[in-house]
Amino acid sequence: MRNRYLYLILVVLALVPWLLGNRYVFHVATMITIMIPMALSMNLMLKIGQLSIAQPAFMGIGAYGSALLAMRLGVPPVLALLAGALIATAIAVVVGPLFLRIKGVYFVLLTYAFGQIVNLVFQEWTTLFGGNNGLYGIPKFSIFGVRLTQSPHYYALGLLLLALFYALMRRIERSDIGAIFESLNENEMLSRSMGSDALGWRIGSFALSAFIAGVSGGVYAFYIGFLSPETFGFLMSVDLIVVNAIGGVASALGPVVGAILILPLPELLRDAREYQLLIYGVCLVVFLLFFRQGLVVFLQRKRRA
């Protein structure tokens, strides 16, 4: 199926909350718009062949960062959001050179350990982060003096950011940078021999993915008004992996499609929570065995056939 049709479907889906006018639907939709950039952030790393499960940690850094800046220092929300994301990016730039030398499985384990440490810091540094109690009373987001108080507002904000990030990802894919990433993935020696600084590009990718995650974190903080360390743990990585596996890694469209299919599940299956995980697992198995490239590529191929 041509991408155009897919885009059309997505746009229609995006309008659904307004058509239904139900505040609960807006809530679920807003959460999806916050999580899709997270999936994109993981996708970015997958493009260079690295599975990073540190993304939730960066989201957490962005979330706590923006929240604390807004609450304790009275920084205006837009700036706080940006600053929080930049803090996450800075940390990525600092640990990047260390982590990105390592590849494959070890890298995954590294990001896992990193994520756990960040989580533990959120839990233990109670005076700053509130510990397991969580941080609450985060003020509402406001742009140029306009306070966002309702889910529809946040949904709009989420959609905007989502569109921005998606567009960014697509541009990268199509551009030279994208080609470099692909070559890094496939044959690093060759790409290095052509002059690209492999490590540098990897760090850049890592930093950008951290930035995106940080922004999502900030929006989450302002929207929910409450933060607790558990949110930014391994379970979120599982969700992100499922989304990317099902949607497909090859293009940025993959995580978007995957997210829309997967993320509403917990809400739909709220009455059968235990089944939700079982379904996740079975879906993953099915996809890994039969549709390893993911749904998007599968659909694209079908059309061509």
Partner 1 sequence: MRYRTVLRSAIVALGLCVMQAWAAEPIKIGVIAATTGGGAPWGLAAVQAVKIKANEVNAQGGLDVDGERHKVEVIAYDDKYRAADAVSAYNRLVRQDGVKYVYIMGSSGTLAVKNQVEDDQVIGLTTSFSGKAIDADTKFMFRVFSISANYIPSLIDWLKEHYKERRVFLANPNDETGWDQDQLTARLFKERGYEVVGRDLYERNQKDFQPLFTKIMATNPEIIDLGSTSPATAGIMIRQARDIGFKGRFLKTGGSGPRDIVAGAGKEAAEGMISTLYADPNNAGYRRLANEYKKVYGQEPNEILIAYYDATSILMRAIQKAGDINDTAKVAQSFASVLPMDSAQGGSITLGGKQMWGVDNQFLTPMYIAAIKDGEAVVVGKAK
Partner 2 sequence: MIEQIIVNGILASLIYILMALGFTLIFGIMRIVNFAHGEFYMIGAMVMLMLFGSMGLPYFLAVLLAGLLGGLLGVVAERLLFRPLVGDELAGMIMSLAIGIILQSAILLTFGPAEQSVTRPFSGTWHLFSAAVPWDRTVVAICALLILVIFYLFMKYARLGLAMQAVAQDPETASLVGIEPGTVYASAFGLACLMAGLAGALMAPVYTVGPYMGELPMLKAFVVVILGGLGSLPGAVLGGLLIGLSESVVTTLFSSTIALIVSFVLVLMIVVVRPTGLLGRGAR
Closest to partner 1 by CB, 12 or 272: 272
The helix/strand/coil state of 130 is coil
Per the CB < 8 A criterion, the answer to whether 43 and 181 are in contact is: no
- Residue 163 interface partner, choices partner 2, partner 1, none, CB cut-off 5-8 Å depending on type: none
Find the DSSP H helices in 141-225. 151-174, 176-186, 188-193, 198-224
Q: Which among 298, 266, 229 is positioned nearest to 57, based on CA atoms?
A: 229
Q: Can you tell me the distance from the alpha carbon of 302 to that of 294, in angstroms, rounded to the nearest whole number? A: 12
Q: Can you tell me the distance from the alpha carbon of 84 to that of 215, in angstroms, rounded to the nearest whole number? A: 7
Residue reference for tokens 């991408």: 3
Binding residue for partner 1, selected from 183, 228, 237, 244, defined by CB under 8 A: 228
Closest to partner 2 by CB, 112 or 226: 112
Binding residue for partner 2, selected from 15, 20, 113, 128, defined by CB under 8 A: 113
- DSSP for 44-78 reads HHHHTT-----HHHHHHHHHHHHHHHHHHS---HH
Q: Which among 159, 152, 166, 149 is positioned nearest to 222, based on CA atoms?
A: 149
The two structure tokens encoding residue 238:
């599982």
End-to-end CA distance of the chain: 10
Show the site string, 208-237: x = touches partner 2 by CB under 8 A, - = not: ------------------------------
**Residue 87 touches partner 2, criterion: CB under 8 A:** no
Site residues for partner 1, window 54-113 (CB under 8 A)? Answer: none
**Residue 273 touches partner 1, criterion: CB under 8 A:** yes
**Stretch in the footprint of partner 2 (CB under 8 A) among 60-68, 115-123, 152-160, 183-191:** 115-123
**Residue 114 touches partner 2, criterion: CB under 8 A:** yes
Q: Can you tell me the distance from the alpha carbon of 243 to that of 287, in angstroms, rounded to the nearest whole number? A: 11
Residue type, 272: A
Residue 20: what are its φ and ψ, rounded to 5°? Answer: -85, -30
**Residue 226 touches partner 1, criterion: CB under 8 A:** yes
**Residue 288 touches partner 2, criterion: CB under 8 A:** yes
Q: Can you tell me the distance from the alpha carbon of 282 to that of 198, in angstroms, rounded to the nearest whole number? A: 37
Binding residue for partner 2, selected from 104, 147, 230, 303, defined by CB under 8 A: 104
- Shortest spacing between CB 143 and partner 2, in angstroms: 38
Binding residue for partner 2, selected from 3, 116, 142, 185, defined by CB under 8 A: 116
**Residue 117 touches partner 2, criterion: CB under 8 A:** yes
Tell me, by CB under 8 A, how many residues bind partner 2.
Answer: 33
- Residue 267 interface partner, choices partner 2, partner 1, none, CB cut-off 5-8 Å depending on type: partner 1
Per the CB < 8 A criterion, the answer to whether 230 and 135 are in contact is: no
Binding residue for partner 2, selected from 31, 51, 69, 219, defined by CB under 8 A: 51
- Residue 241 interface partner, choices partner 2, partner 1, none, CB cut-off 5-8 Å depending on type: partner 2
Site residues for partner 1, window 9-38 (CB under 8 A)? Answer: 22-24, 27
- Which residues here bind partner 1, judged by CB under 8 A? 22-24, 27, 123, 126, 131-134, 136-137, 224-226, 228, 230-231, 266-267, 270, 273
